[in-house]
Amino acid sequence: MYRSNVLVCGGTGCTSSNSELIIDKLKEEIAAQGLEKEVNVIRTGCFGLCALGPIMIIYPEGAFYSMVKPEDVPEIVEEHLLKGRIVKRLLYQETVVENSDAIKSLNHTPFYEKQNRVALRNCGVINPEDIDEYIAVDGYQALGKALTEMTPEQVIDVMKKSGLRGRGGAGFPTGLKWSFAAQNQADQKYVCCNADEGDPGAFMDRSILEGDPHAVLEAMTIAGYAIGASQGYIYVRAEYPIAVKRLQIAIDQAKEYGLMGDNIFDSGFNFNIELRLGAGAFVCGEETALMTSIEGKRGEPRPRPPFPALKGLFGKPTILNNVETWANIPQIILKGADWFSSMGTEKSKGTKVFALGGKIEHTGLVEVPMGTTLREIVEEIGGGVPGGHTFKAAQTGGPSGGCIPASQMDVPIDYDNLIAIGSMMGSGGLIVMDDTTCMVDIAKFFLEFTVDESCGKCTPCRVGTRRLLELLNKITSGNGTLEDIDKMEELCEYLKENALCALGQTAPNPVLSTLHYFRDEYIAHVTEKRCPAGACKALTNYHIIEDKCKGCTLCARNCPVGAITGTVKKPHVIDTVKCIKCGACMEKCKFNAIVKR
């Protein structure tokens, strides 16, 4: 019996900042102190507060240590685990109570207080490589309930009533999708999991697979029972090695326990799941392309209809859901449709996981009820924009989504509201931008991504996205005209109407939404040849303000190309022809005498 549990984050973020080494060191130190029978070290999934990794949490005290280094480990073991004295200097600042030895519970810190973790409930709580721990937190109870107490129709009914909508982006009602596949008769049906997370900045699916792989397996098995399928596939990208490894361990353990395989719960129902590794093409996250790829062919989309529920994988009825959608399902079966639909807004039920990134204090994963405003997410949970800058916009939905400007920050976020303001939920990537971000540049960034990832099957996407990027390049290099902006809009509309799959149809969204909310920036680039945010290099020049310059020569000494001239104690001058716009002078200047304009 262990008296203390030490949980160390083993998600990708913390692993890349050395959490493996910390675990090794912990075990070593614990053994050296003779505590190995009293203290259990567990590698968990992601805690969500990735900005402060590597993260360690010690129970029963609930001490949350952040940014732990391997050299801190001996102190933690000796002070905390041996002598019971919490190492205050390593505590997450928000949990420290002034002038007291008590610590604030993590659930009462700004980052976690507003969160409601359903899909992420086990991430950072259990050991994902141990099926017993998953079972200990009611794992596989939902499967047992479905197989022994419910008919397939009842399962689908609960899913429909819950109001769960697909978390991969499009937001299609999950129960409805299942009922279509259940109605179609076939000798074989399939259940697929879309774990080909491709949006830049989104990593919630990876975290769920790394932190709670059994939840996905359990949910897929429930779906198999509901629609009458006996085979499932998880299409996961090979760039997620930790997720792949833990999924395989989970599958092996489930088989060993008889929770996967033949005659599960003595119900006569058989189900197996296999992994398929994707090579990382963005288009393979599109459902028809994903299934084509599982079939062993080149990952290209095909026109719909027929929809996968009728003709999917290998031409058989198939349902395909995203990882986060799956992670919600065992809880819905266990706690009921009413419990789930009590969270969220009228048409978007439950919670949504967002991956916070960009110019924000607390980079990480947050799960909030649908209907939470962007302001709450960015300012309260995310801790706001760092460095004294102001919030300009947030980008949601990745390359298929759009920007939400500061003026729309109080809109409750759900599927329909986001579309109404010109963005989309997408998989939940949320990239925050401040006043130093150029919106034309952002649109260009996403277009570069779609141009790279276009599979080339249909002309509108293959050629259209490239022409669009060329126009954007023309504008950011200072050669654009007002007609170019009109041309871009026309091309965007054409792409939306004519591309084969969602990748091409939504590719213009970043351009359209930035044009809608930040048209003045486009116009400034074109008519004044000026980048208001000072991000487009071709359009900005560095200048020294004469009054502020003290002639300290620091800038001149740091200029790598010798573009700054002047004598000591006299104002200096930048030769804009020689200047390569590296910004080194501005960084060094102690008197704020250098400006970009």
Partner 1 sequence: MKSLAELQAIRDKARSRVTLREGQDDAIRVLVGMATCGIAAGARPVLTTLVDEVAKRGLQNVMVTQTGCIGICQFEPVVEIVEPGKEKVTYVKMTPEKVTRVVNDHLVNGNVVTEYTIGANSK
Pair 46, 356: CB distance under 8 Å = no
**Pairwise CA distance, residues 473 & 74, whole Å:** 54
What minimum distance in Å lies between the beta carbon of 89 and partner 1? 16
Contact flag: residue 105 with partner 1 (CB under 8 A): yes
Choose between 74 and 478: whose C-beta lies nearer to partner 1: 74
Contact between 268 and partner 1 by CB under 8 A: the answer reads no
The rounded distance, in Å, linking the Cα atoms of 392 and 394 is 7
Amino acid present at 123: C
Nearer to partner 1, 105 or 407 (CB): 105
Of 209-217, 252-260, 319-327, 512-520, the window that binds partner 1 (rule: CB under 8 A) is 252-260
Type of residue at 385: V
Which of 21, 67, 87, 135 forms a contact with partner 1 (CB under 8 A)?
135
């499932």: which residue's tokens?
Answer: 232
Q: Which two tokens stand for residue 165?
A: 């909508």
Alpha carbons 91 and 55: distance in angstroms, whole number: 10
DSSP-derived pairing of the beta strands 231-237 and 190-195:
parallel
Q: What are phi and psi of 85, to 5 degrees?
A: -110, 120
* Least separation in angstroms between CB 112 and partner 1: 10
Q: Give yes or no for residue 129 binding partner 1 (CB under 8 A).
A: no
What is the torsional sign of CA 446, 447, 449, 453?
positive
Residue from the set 125, 220, 488, 500 that interacts with partner 1 by CB under 8 A: 125
Residue (of 22, 117, 41) closest to 324 by Cα position: 117
Query: 196 by DSSP, 3-state: which?
Result: coil
Looking only at residues 80 through 99 of this chain, which bind partner 1 when binding is defined by CB under 8 A? Answer: 82-85
Our finding on whether 137 is near partner 1 (CB under 8 A) is yes
Nearest distance, CB of residue 148 and partner 1, angstroms: 6
Asked if 230 touches partner 1 (CB under 8 A), the answer is: no
Q: Is residue 596 near partner 1 by the rule CB under 8 A? A: no
The structure tokens listed for 373 are 């405003």
User: Which one among 133, 380, 448, 489 touches partner 1, defined by CB under 8 A?
Assistant: 133
Residues whose CB is less than 8 angstroms from the CB of residue 576 and which lie 6 or more positions away in sequence, other chains included: 541, 542, 563
Question: Rule CB under 8 A: is residue 576 a binding residue for partner 1?
Answer: no
Q: How far is the CB of 61 from partner 1 (least distance, A)?
A: 6
Q: Toward partner 1, which CB reaches closer, 225 or 522?
A: 225
Q: How is residue 136 written in tokens?
A: 């200990």
Tally of CB atoms within 10 A around 85: 11
What is the nearest approach in angstroms of partner 1 to the Cβ of residue 104?
Answer: 11
Contact region with partner 1 (CB under 8 A), list: 161-169, 263-271, 404-412, 486-494: 263-271
Residue 265 contacts partner 1 per CB under 8 A: yes
Binding partner 1 (rule: CB under 8 A), the pick from 74, 144, 200, 551 is: 144
| Cα angle 156-162-166, degrees, rounded to a multiple of 5 | 85
Which residue ranges make up the site for partner 1 (CB under 8 A)?
A: 1-5, 7, 37-38, 40, 59-62, 82-85, 105-107, 125-126, 132-133, 135-138, 140-141, 144-145, 148, 257-259, 264-266
